[in-house]
Amino acid sequence: MRVGLLGPVTVWQDGATLPLGPAMQRAVLALLALDAGRPVSTQRLVDALWGDEPPDRAVTLVQGYVSRLRALLRPADLRITRHASGYVIDVAPEDVDVTAFRARVASAETGTDPAPLRAALALWRGEALADLRHTPVLDRLRAGLEAERLDVWEECLDRVLRAGRHLEVLGELTDLCAEHPFRPRPLPLLMVALYRAGRQAEALTWYATARRRYADELGLDPTPEATAVHGRILRGDPDLDLPPAAEAPPVRPARLLPYAVRDFTGREAELRQLLGLAGGTASAVVISAIDGMPGVGKTTIAVHAAHALADRFPDGQYFVDLHGFTPGLAPMDTSMALGLLLRAAGVPAERIPVDLQERSALWRSELADRRVLILLDNAASAQQVRPLLPGSPGSLVLVTSRRRLRTLDGAEALSLDVLPQEEAHDLFVAAAGPRALAEPDAVADVVELCGRLPLALRIAAARVGTGPAAVARLATHLRAALRRLDALAVDDRDVSATFTLSYRALEPAQQRMFRLLGLHPGHHFGADSASALADIDQGEATALLDALVSAHLLQRHADDRYTFHDLLRVFAGTHATPAAEHRAALDRLLDHYGRTALAAAHALGLGPFGEPPPPTPPPAAGWLDAERAGLIAAAGLPGAGPFALGLARALSCYLEAECHHADALSLYDHALRALPTPAEEAELHRHRALILLRTGAYQTSEDAARHSLRICRDTGDEAGEGRSLTALARVFTQRGEPERSLEHSTRALDLHRRTADRVAEGATLNNLGSNHARLGNHAIAEDYLRQAVSVNRQTGNRRSEATAWCLLGIIDQQRGHHDTASAHLREALSLYRATGDRAGEGTTLANLGLIHGLRGRYSHALDTYRQAHGIHHEIGNRAPEGYALAGIGNALSALGHHDQAIEHHRRALDLGRALHEPNLQAQALQSLGAAHLASGDADQALHRHGEALGLATASGDVFVQAQANEGIGRALEALGRFAEARSSWQRALDTYTSLGAPQARDLLDKLAT
């Protein structure tokens, strides 16, 4: 069992880590372990956890943390006991890495060998107490431990330098001076190492830079030691040279891993995969190739995993940045990388061969009996990596690259995606500091604007300013898409520069495809769109797209569609395509889109009615659904007016049948801005009216229909005038004004017959039948609907024929002819499904549900209503969704689930009110009244039926008036007001009798008793 504090707080038991709970709980463990064997007072724990502002229940909280730690640590036989003066953790000091570190340093204090100090430093896994919160006490402890680490590191490097191994420490001294410019010891050591390496000018440059920084920031000169070394370099002091008899001591295992970041966040599944690799090294060299888009955090997770695994590889941990994608640098020559690794392994320079193959063989020989971990970062290709791999079992190699190294045989691939939402939020907050927690909405905006890309999140966090709403100001700055990449740059970190390196590494054809895809208006696209943009065949386009996926400049989905990461989409847009190629590419895309969309609509049976399908072969099933957003966006492009008009004509039936209301309105708006002819403009306004009607925007729908009507009358277009009147009539039908609808439908029918517009005639006959049925004129309604069936069959308009059968079914249901009603409705259902009209399918299912209920088959009714509701909810058909909810409630009430029924009826009523839909409101109120009466609340039932009667009277719907009067009578009966009940029933009976409705018989029996 070991306790680790030199990094994230960790407890290991038999090589496995134990769960330690939240950060505050881990902090208690860390404070106890720092004083292992000695009591730590409760007050000290409180001060360390909360500083000067502890919560009221601080002592109780500490007791809870200790109690939970005891349970978590029990598997490691680690006990926390209570003493009079505080708590004590029962752990041997040597099992705590802080104590072990100090012991190793103390034992090496009087010697000159750097190896014990290297061994002590190897215990560090990153910043001490890395995963704990920031409080004054914890920060002081961190700072003290960090100072100890730096002191030991400096002494270690000094000893290596004094042993004559200056090349071994050059990199570490450079990092140390850059990270800690005002520590006195590293600068003179670095200057001596550079001088001995023959880099006198660099040594003098480091001193000059330090002198300026000391003067500017501290008003001082560099330390006397640095100044003295500077003078000796200028004089060429021979004492700076290597001692003639200096011999390098035995080489100790290399410890070359970079610093692990303190705020590493998430990636738990990926880390488990990497940490699990160590178990397979006994029989083979294990290789993990970590790939991902620029800035996704490949190096960060690799370094984090390497530190966690370091103890498993005692013969050394090696790190080389291969500069595959480093600004200003070409990829590192593999021979040079081998030279660095061999020297780090202790091979003298004179023994290192020049030939690449010989170097690779020597490297494998050096590692033959060792267990080492090698981190090869930022690889350009598998070819660059292969010569660097060990040849014997026992070692682990982690490789990071922006490319998928598919030809790195035997490697286990790990592809990193952007962070999940929660982890991205945590990383930004950890990097920006606790102040970000005060602006949760702004943080969420920034996280999404950064595309949850770790590099972008870190840069954005570094740019958070001071004062109130600092994160919100940053979000506003980032929201300007064209400036977003400029905003994601700070110091030497730049998202755009990172992307540029990957772009420049592409072949010319791949670069061209990347640029052209930046023109694509859709968020997702297929290879067919890419081939149209690039004017190449689809096979070649697919190969280029897959190459961009391998380079992580594009993402591929399971359905063979592609998309950009948001920031890469912005980046692609910054690579200007020549104007002529730009226009030609978009013209090719629009031509492809127009032809294919029309073919796809016809393949679904939803093409423009009466027009033959185009010669273009239809695309694969689902193409229209996949490309819909891209098609609508393309219609809004500058210069795409003719395309928008053609697309509106091609897709109007599809968009209306599938209830893509917002897309339809957007497309019609694009087409209206394209200067259509008067006939085209009138048609577009008619389509807008029908879509607006489905969304419940009745007044706007009426305005659109009237605008279409005015255009047709002004231009003498009688056929268009008839269709506009039909559209206007449908508005009044939906609004619950059957008389006004009949007036416009009658005039429309005359115009349709005069102009021989048989398709429109069939639709208008349906509307006439629907409204006469609503007014109780069932015989007239049936005659119109039978005519509608005939006309629609002659024209081949199966969707309109389906509507006629559905309406005939409703009339027969109201008459009590359930068998014929079911037959008519099933005929409608078959036609709706054949034409892909999901809205019609849902409405028909709801009417079949009603018949099941009237027949007493309540479970069947409930299932059918739920199918109808699912369809309407999925396609956004809101008013029919409300009717389905009411139907579900009726079935539930009949099954005795009155509370659930009332809830469904209330939802239907709320929806009817939100849509200003009187028919739906009346239906929901009727159902709600019946449910309240069934549950024993007659007063509430009377109130709801009364509201329904008022709405039905205002709309002229006599059948619903009769239903409301019947319900009022039942509620009055339950209240003991029998005379009033009989009066209401008589009014209902009169209406039912005039309609020939079967409910009349039940009321006659009721009134006879």
Region 720-729: mean pLDDT is 94
pLDDT band for position 246 (cuts 50, 70, 90) = very low
Same domain, yes or no, for 719 and 650?
yes
Please report, for the domain that includes residue 554, its CATH number.
Answer: 1.10.10.10
Residue 245: predicted pLDDT: 45
Classify residue 791: in a domain, yes or no: no
Q: What is the pLDDT of residues 322-349, one digit of tens each?
A: 988 876 567 888 988 898 899 888 888 7
Q: Two tokens at 9?
A: 């707080």
Residue 747: predicted pLDDT: 96
54 has pLDDT over 50:
yes
Same domain, yes or no, for 395 and 534?
no
Q: Is 847 left (phi over 0), alpha (psi -120 to 50) or beta?
A: alpha
Rounded to whole angstroms, how far apart are CA atoms 595 and 410?
47
Same domain, yes or no, for 235 and 380?
no
The count of domains in the chain is: 5
Q: What is the pLDDT of residues 414-469, one digit of tens each?
A: 999 889 888 888 888 888 888 788 888 889 988 888 888 888 888 888 878 777 88
Q: Which residue in 751, 797, 790, 794 sits closest to 769, CA to CA? A: 790
582 has pLDDT over 90:
no
18 has pLDDT over 90:
no
Rounded to whole angstroms, how far apart are CA atoms 205 and 71?
58
Same domain, yes or no, for 362 and 477?
no
Rounded to whole angstroms, how far apart are CA atoms 714 and 750?
19
Please report, for the domain that includes residue 351, its CATH number.
Answer: 3.40.50.300
pLDDT band for position 29 (cuts 50, 70, 90) = very high
Q: Which residue in 395, 312, 304, 398 sits closest to 15, CA to CA? A: 312
Region 858-877: mean pLDDT is 89
Burial class, 268, CB count within 10 angstroms (exposed 0-12 / middle 13-18 / buried 19+): exposed
Classify residue 749: in a domain, yes or no: yes
Classify residue 806: in a domain, yes or no: no
Classify residue 864: in a domain, yes or no: no
Q: Which domain holds residue 166?
A: 2-240
C-alpha to C-alpha distances, 13 to 26, 279, 304, 307, nearest whole angstrom: 16, 16, 20, 17
Same domain, yes or no, for 409 and 458?
no
Average pLDDT, the chain: 87
Lowest-pLDDT choice from 22-36, 895-909, 987-1001: 987-1001
Residue 352 exposure: Cα atoms within 13 Å on the Cβ side? 18
Q: 312: Cβ–Cβ under 8 A, 6 or more apart, which residues? A: 278, 371, 373, 396
Classify residue 30: in a domain, yes or no: yes
Residue 997: predicted pLDDT: 76
Domain boundary among 572, 597, 630: 572
Share of the chain above pLDDT 90, in %: 41
Classify residue 360: in a domain, yes or no: yes
For residue 178, which amino acid is it?
A
Same domain, yes or no, for 354 and 373?
yes
- Asked if residues 519 and 533 have their Cβ atoms less than 8 Å apart, the reply is yes
First to last CA, the chain: 89
Classify residue 907: in a domain, yes or no: no
> Taking the alpha carbons of 67, 69, 72, 78 in that order, is the dihedral positive or negative?
negative
Q: Which residue in 910, 931, 840 sits closest to 880, CA to CA? A: 840
Residue 243: predicted pLDDT: 60
- Asked if residues 515 and 577 have their Cβ atoms less than 8 Å apart, the reply is yes
SS (H, E, C) 253-311: CCECCCCCCCCCCCCHHHHHHHHHHHHHCCCCCEEEEEEECCCCCHHHHHHHHHHHHHH
- Asked if residues 406 and 439 have their Cβ atoms less than 8 Å apart, the reply is no
Domain boundary among 375, 398, 416: 416
Residue 803: predicted pLDDT: 94
- Asked if residues 439 and 315 have their Cβ atoms less than 8 Å apart, the reply is no
Residue 239: predicted pLDDT: 80
Q: What is the pLDDT of residues 138-176, one digit of tens each?
A: 989 999 999 999 999 999 999 888 888 888 888 889 888
Same domain, yes or no, for 220 and 130?
yes
Same domain, yes or no, for 412 and 287?
yes
Rounded to whole angstroms, how far apart are CA atoms 232 and 249?
27
Which DSSP symbol is given to 436?
Answer: G
Same domain, yes or no, for 638 and 759?
yes
Strand partners, 556: 562
Q: Which residue in 711, 660, 656 sits closest to 682, CA to CA? A: 711
Region 758-773: mean pLDDT is 93
DSSP 474-525: HHHHHHSHHHHHHHSEETTEEHHHHHHHHHHTS-HHHHHHHHHHTT--SSEE
555 has pLDDT over 70:
yes
278 has pLDDT over 70:
yes
Which DSSP symbol is given to 329?
Answer: B
Rounded to whole angstroms, how far apart are CA atoms 167 and 161?
9
- Asked if residues 748 and 729 have their Cβ atoms less than 8 Å apart, the reply is yes
Q: Helices 454-462 & 495-504, crossing angle to 10 degrees? A: 150
Which DSSP symbol is given to 214?
Answer: I
- Asked if residues 898 and 934 have their Cβ atoms less than 8 Å apart, the reply is yes
Domain boundary among 361, 382, 416: 416
Share of the chain above pLDDT 70, in %: 96
Rg (CA), the chain: 39
Same domain, yes or no, for 386 and 533?
no
The pairing of beta strand 396-401 with beta strand 373-379: parallel
Same domain, yes or no, for 50 and 193?
yes
pLDDT band for position 710 (cuts 50, 70, 90) = very high
Classify residue 869: in a domain, yes or no: no
Same domain, yes or no, for 626 and 764?
yes
Region 591-619: mean pLDDT is 85
